[in-house]
Amino acid sequence: MAVPKVLLRVSVDGKFFRLGGEKFFPKGITYGPFVPSREYDVLPPPEQAARDLALIRELGGNVVRVYHPPGKWFLDLASEHGLRVWVDFPWEKQFCFLDSPALQENARRAVREAVRSCERHPAVFAFCVANEIPADIVRWSGVKAVSEFLDTLVEEAKGIDAEALCTFTSFPPTEFLQPANVDFVSYNVYLHQQKALESYLARLQMIADAKPLVLAEFGIDSFREGEGAKCEMLAWQIETAFRAGLAGTVLFSFTDDWFTGSHQVENWSFGLTTRDRAPKPSFEVVRNLYHTAPRFPLPRYPKVSVVVASYNGARTLKTCLESLTHLNYPDYEVILVDDGSTDNTRDIADAYPNIRYIRQPNLGLSGARNTGINAATGEVIAFTDSDCRADEDWLHYLVGDLLNGGFAGIGGHNFLPPEDSSVAAAVMVSPGGPAHVMLTDREAEHLPGCNMAFYKYALLELGGFDPVFRRAGDDVDVCWRLLERGCKLGFSPAGFVWHYRRSTVRAYLKQQAGYGEAEALLAHKHPEYFNPLGASIWRGRIYGQSRVGPAVRRPVIYHGLFGSGFFQKLYAPAPAYALMFCTSLEYHVLITLPLLAVSISIPALWPLLLASVALTLGVCAAAAAQAQLPRKKRKLWSRPLVALLFLLQPVVRGWARYRWRLTVRPRPRAQRRAAAAGVARPKSVGTVSYWSDKGVDRFAFLDGVLKLLEAEGWQTKLDTGWNDHDVEIYGEKWARLRLTTVMEDLGGGKTVVRGRLDANWSLRAKLYFWVLLALEVVVVALLRDTQPWLWMMLLSVPLLGWFFEQEKHNLQGIIAGLLDTIGLKLGMTRIEHGKARELGEPGQRTSAK
């Protein structure tokens, strides 16, 4: 049978590779080096090489990794056998090369000569600029310096062959080395326990992030482990790697014949064949697995309902639906919910008769997704957006990780499509983009709505998505509610979609305004997840291509004693959130604008104003400089545009957030009823006490209080275990109250539950009060000579403070009345403070025990 010839070159496609119109999964094996010869260097003669390559092809392999640049004859031979060649560059990395300009030039020359010798041959899969740089060499020279040098080697290769794929092969002792310019991430990993390998591959997927991950070397020495153990371990190693979503594997090695370090190695047997090329039992094991890879069968295939909610998304809808009709998953349906679109969404949907089309009035994003849930017949419901294009293996990996991890929901990456614009690329790395938040290498705190899937039962138990979230925030709300119920959320690195970003600044800022409104809604519903300024508080680490802020601290690396650690882990610092305050709306309102107003009359303050503005612009510029823009999308204006978006986004999003928060909202029903009935509430209630002869404890009392608060529409924040109060209750706009309870056991089944009601002004009230005071003081100071009567303006400040105090006392009274209601329902009697002892059992004495 004629073997296929290599014609096309492999390219990167998200977390995988592509060859023409098909995905390409490297199923490789290392080859050589062998005893050197003058004619063929470290490769065998062509006759032997042809027989070896035929065996590799029989094995199911498609990539051969060689550790020295091969001659053109070998590339031609590999091409004839339908194989790609992974080419390593040998250079003196075992020395302190960054201390020697000559060694650095030798490395660059080795790269240039090797790439030129390959002559852009289509059989070349990739170039590896270095393999396993010793950890102590990196520690000596510095991680940043070594990474930057590796990037220069990639640039040398790309300068000669721009289409060539380049990588650097690391291993656990240099896990922290992460050059920016490599096309894919590759690691040599030798772990002989399955759980350890699964955990480490999950970690490497987090390091690889948006790039493909390849297991560049793995294997078992049958000389020490035995051939039987080798067969067993190779079986689960290969399957584990592909189930973990790796883009490919390269097994070490083809044969026991291995020459390295100027001598023939005799005391090991990593090969699948003997030195005379006789296949071992492990050869047959790998052949079976490589012919099955990459899509190993899942334990089961639950039916999946894919829900696409669309409102005027016709621009990208056809691309989205087309991708969903070609998924590599045996049992799924697609439901398109048209949320009252006014464009040609219906016409596009009619071209796909196998897709269920549902049209409804414009109810918002949550309403559309709930319609999809109600129409779904699948056990699992997956969500994506009309501006997304799904990878063909999207569901295979999502469902596989969902089943394997015991999760209630799962999500994955969302990448910028290669065909999207340079403006979209700038938007992608700007703040506010969809990102996943990870608690561990596998468990997530938040999944972006454009790529998430849940068991249907979990969504039904929640009551679906909250319809209050019309434009955004519904995904965050669902994730938080599931976590609060004790469910786990997972992340599937290989289950990704392509996500088209906003292509204009105006569209981006409009999107961010919607996110700001959603944040306000989330803060109202989940105040425990937000700080006093309304910014979200995440327990996990935010991952994604959008930047949160500039990094100002260096990462910390655990090297082990004297730099000898086998797993040397990098701990990356969090972005400088404090610096990002200098770009916020609050900073401009409280600092920049008052400085501007005062500087008009006091020129001496101009330097302070300029310093404030320079600080803001500097933070934006630093964040833009650190943004990881795709190489092919970079323009001269890209980073200035990113800096501009960092400047505008916090203002637009913050204004939308405050606009919603400061808008007068309806009172909770308890307040409305009390006002309508003219019920007088006590103006100040600090402590209340309730007596019971039925043994009612404070937990039963609190349970009733919380249920009534929820039913009445109050916004609350529960104790998380770190507070000295039980629940924080937010009033209409100007006040908040902290309720703390305690129980006194009187004996004989008699109890007293006491509650302390500590009321205070809300953040909004404090902000109004101090801003008004500051502005009036400034105005009076500036105009005291020409308009002395303006001092009377200051009288408005105590009046405002009196109003806020009244609101605080009213809130105390209303909550006291609500507690009376609960006490009455539980058969408790309101008593005066200090009367508890009189209601105890006669003769009851306090025990010293």
DSSP letters, 208-223, are: HTTS-EEEEEE---HH
Q: In Å, what is the CA distance from 97 to each residue of 88, 158, 264?
A: 18, 22, 27
**58 burial level (CB within 10 Å; 0-12, 13-18, 19+):** exposed
Of 145-154, 261-270, 322-331, the one with minimum mean pLDDT is 261-270
Query: Nearest Cα to 143, choosing from 553, 626, 574, 554?
Result: 554
Residue 24 DSSP SS3: strand
Which of 301-310, 579-588, 681-690 comes out lowest in average pLDDT?
681-690
Do 790 and 755 lie in one domain? The reply is yes
Structural domain containing residue 490: 304-543
77 and 204 fall within a common domain? yes
C-alpha to C-alpha distance for 698 and 439, rounded to whole angstroms: 34
Residues 45 and 129 in one domain: yes
CA nearest neighbour of 6 among 85, 116, 118, 89: 85
Domains held by the chain: number? 4
Question: Residue 109 has what pLDDT?
Answer: 95
Q: What is the CATH number of the domain that holds 410?
A: 3.90.550.10
Contact present, 529 and 536 (Cβ < 8 Å): yes
**pTM (two decimals):** 0.80
Residue 593 shares a structural domain with residue 497? no
Specify the DSSP class assigned to residue 279. Answer: B
727-730/715-718 β-pairing:
antiparallel
Domain boundary among 214, 245, 280: 214
Q: In this predicted model, what pLDDT tens digit does every residue of 47-88 receive, in sequence order?
A: 999 999 999 999 999 999 999 999 899 999 999 999 999 999
User: What does the alpha-carbon distance between residue 432 and residue 106 come to, in Å, rounded to a whole number?
Assistant: 45
User: Which candidate, 388, 372, 324, 332, places its Cα nearest to that of 352?
Assistant: 324
* Cβ count near 76 (within 10 Å): 15
| Radius of gyration (C-alpha) of the chain in whole angstroms | 33
User: Is residue 481 within 8 Å of 366, Cβ to Cβ?
Assistant: no
- Find out whether 216 and 187 touch, Cβ atoms under 8 Å: yes
Give residue 487's Cα distance to chain centre: 18
Task: Check whether residue 322 and residue 364 sit in a common domain.
Answer: yes
Asked if 655 and 673 sit in the same domain, the reply is no
In a domain, 261, yes or no: no
Which pair of tokens denotes residue 50? 């042809």
| Domain shared by 450 and 528, yes or no | yes
- For residue 243, is it within any domain? no
Q: Name the residue among 308, 322, 318 with its Cα closest to residue 371.
A: 308
d(CA 309, CA 372) in angstroms, rounded, equals: 8
- Spell out the residues 6+ positions from residue 122 whose beta carbon is closer than 8 angstroms to its own: 6, 7, 8, 9, 79
Could you say which of 645, 662, 679 is where a domain stops? 662
Same domain, 638 and 685: no
Is 537 part of any domain?
Answer: yes
Q: Residue 5: inside a domain, yes or no?
A: no
Does residue 552 form part of some domain?
Answer: no
Return the H-helix or E-strand segment holding 180.
none
pLDDT at 337: 96
Closest to 215 (Cα-Cα) out of 191, 250, 190, 242: 250
> Is residue 474 scored above 80 in pLDDT?
yes
> In this structure, is residue 202 part of a structural domain?
yes
pLDDT tens string 573-598: 666 677 888 888 888 888 888 888 77
User: What are φ and ψ of residue 381, in 5° steps?
Assistant: -115, 120
377 and 511 both lie in a single domain = yes
pLDDT band at 600; cut points 50, 70, 90? confident
Where residue 194 sits, what CATH number does that domain have?
Answer: 3.20.20.80
- Together in a domain, 647 and 681: no
Answer yes or no: is 359 within a domain: yes
Please state the rounded mean pLDDT for residues 680-694.
74
Looking at the fold, whether 641 and 748 belong to one and the same domain comes out as no
Q: Say how many C-beta atoms besides its own lie within 10 A of residue 290's C-beta.
A: 22
Tell me the two tokens of residue 622.
Answer: 């630093």
Q: Extract the tokens encoding 396.
A: 């295979």
Domain boundary (498, 524, 543) is at: 543
Half-sphere exposure of 536 (CA within 13 A, CB side): 26
d(CA 183, CA 562): 32
Residues 228-231: contacts with CB within 8 Å, 24+ apart? 228/281, 230/282, 231/281, 231/282, 231/285
Q: Alpha-carbon distance 657 to 306, whole Å?
A: 31
Q: What is the pLDDT of residue 772?
A: 76
**What is the CA angle 304-305-307, rounded to 5?**
140
State the pLDDT at residue 562.
61
845 found inside a domain: no
Measuring CA to CA, which residue among 255, 285, 453 is closest to residue 369? 453
Please, which pLDDT band fits residue 676 given cuts at 50, 70 and 90?
very low
What's at 745, amino acid-wise?
D
CB of 250 closer than 8 Å to CB of 167: no
Residue 530: the pLDDT is 77
52 close to 280: Cβ distance less than 8 angstroms: no
Are residues 615 and 479 located together in one domain of the fold?
no
| Residues of the chain above pLDDT 70, percent | 87
| 223-237, 813-827, 833-847, range with the lowest pLDDT | 833-847
Q: How far apart are CA 428 and CA 417, in angstroms?
A: 11
| Predicted pLDDT of residue 1 | 38
Specify the 3-state DSSP secondary structure of 29: strand
The predicted structure's pLDDT at residue 839: 59
Own/partner pairs for 660-668, CB < 8 Å, 24+ apart? 660/516, 660/517, 660/520, 660/521, 661/520, 661/523, 661/524, 661/534, 661/764, 662/733, 662/764, 664/733, 665/732, 665/733, 667/732, 668/712, 668/713, 668/714, 668/732
